[in-house]
Each structure stands twice: as structure tokens, then as C-alpha cells.
Amino acid sequence: MEVTAQAFVGTLNPALTVEVLVNGEKITDWEFTDTRQQKRIAIIPGDLLKKAKYALKGAQQLALIEFSIHDPISPKALGMSQDTRELGLGVSKLTFSQFSESPVH
């Protein structure tokens, strides 16, 4: 999975940690330290996809992908504006690609 995102960080909140979970299991942490749009990659193990706990009508399996933002903060708390929403990560693009493992000889 490739994510293009921009973190809400600044001088009073210089870093943002994002925990990436698939079906409730942590696969990686991402650390952001500036506001530029950045690409991050997370490899989702196939066995986690097989543990899909969610299904639509017709028994189609779904994987739950979560981005857990550690210590989001509001612009108001930083004295930037009256906006009280706690902000963390703005995702502009999310791409999934399938990789197959090569057999080991």
C-alpha cells in the first residue's frame, strides 16, 4: 500500500506518529516531521488479508485498514485559529498493488 499524505506538524508539535493497522494488527509506524506531502509504503502481509473480519453481502471479504494518529492537536490549541478539530494526517492518494512472492530454490 502506498500513501501520499501531509502531516499537521509545526514548531509547537514538531512530529506526528501514525500507527498503521490491518485487521487490528500493527504493521508499521510512520513518523512525520514536516508539512510536505510525502509518500509512505506499508507492506500488508497476505495472512492478515486472509483474516478479514468484515464481509459484505455475497460473502465478499473486506480488510480494515486503520491509521491511528498519536497525539493529534487542534489549530486552536496551537493559537493558529479558532478551529477546534484535532488534526493529524491528510491523505491525498492511496494506492494498492499486489506483489507475489518468488519461490525460493
Residue 8's Cβ-count burial label (10 Å; 0-12, 13-18, 19+) is buried
Above 80 in pLDDT, residue 103? no
Domain membership flag for residue 102: no
Decide if 104 is inside a domain.
no
Q: Is the pTM of this model over 0.85?
A: no
Domain count, the chain: 1
Inside any domain, residue 12: yes
Domain span at residue 77? 2-95
pLDDT in tens, 42-54: 999 888 877 766 5
Residue 71: inside a domain: yes
pLDDT per residue as tens digits for the range 2-41: 999 999 998 889 999 999 999 899 999 999 999 999 999 9
* 23 in any annotated domain: yes
Nine cell digits for residue 86: 484535532
Is residue 15 within 8 Å of 30, Cβ to Cβ?
A: no
